[in-house]
Amino acid sequence: MIVEARDLTLPQFISDRLLKLQILLNMIRDEEWSLTEDERNSIRSALYYSVDPEDVIPDHIPGIGFLDDAMYAEIVIQELKIEIKLYQEFCQFRIAEENRRRNRGLDPHVGREDWIADKRAVLHSRMRERRALRSGGRGWRMRLL
């Protein structure tokens, strides 16, 4: 659906929201981010509506077919904004640390899992702590679906 949306001329509101879903897809595919299977499944369930071509407004209807998808995407993005922010922080750290190590003449792959694991642990802890505070411990699925 994201690929299809890129190829269409859509209103800016719609295309912006649909393209932001790519961040969520990156989160669940990024092996170094290491989400649990339950966390991946929760994000997948939140995204399912957006990939269903026969949802409330079928995607093939010109001009408005992706409107409901964009609105739902905005809800999902707002619900997961802390998780998205922390994932983006992780990605920025990873790039910066790789560059720092290269600039010092070090191989960024040597000991990589150790320096990534430390940062990931801190960010995952913050993510889960904030999620628990927001939801009363019920998790994403109970809040979104």
Rounded to whole angstroms, the Cα distance separating 3 from 20 reads 12
pLDDT at res. 141: 45
140 closest CA partner among 89, 66, 83: 83
| For residue 136, pLDDT beyond 90 | no
pTM for the predicted model, two decimal places: 0.77
Least confident of 3-12, 19-28, 67-76, 86-95: 3-12
Q: What pLDDT, on the 0 to 100 scale, is given for residue 4?
A: 65
Average pLDDT over residues 92-113: 94
- List Cα–Cα distances, 91 to 6, 80, 87, 97, in angstroms: 23, 16, 6, 10
Please, are residues 141 and 42 in contact by the beta-carbon 8 Å criterion?
A: yes
How many degrees, rounded to 5, is the angle at CA 121 between CA 94 and CA 73?
70
Domain limits, the chain: 2-144
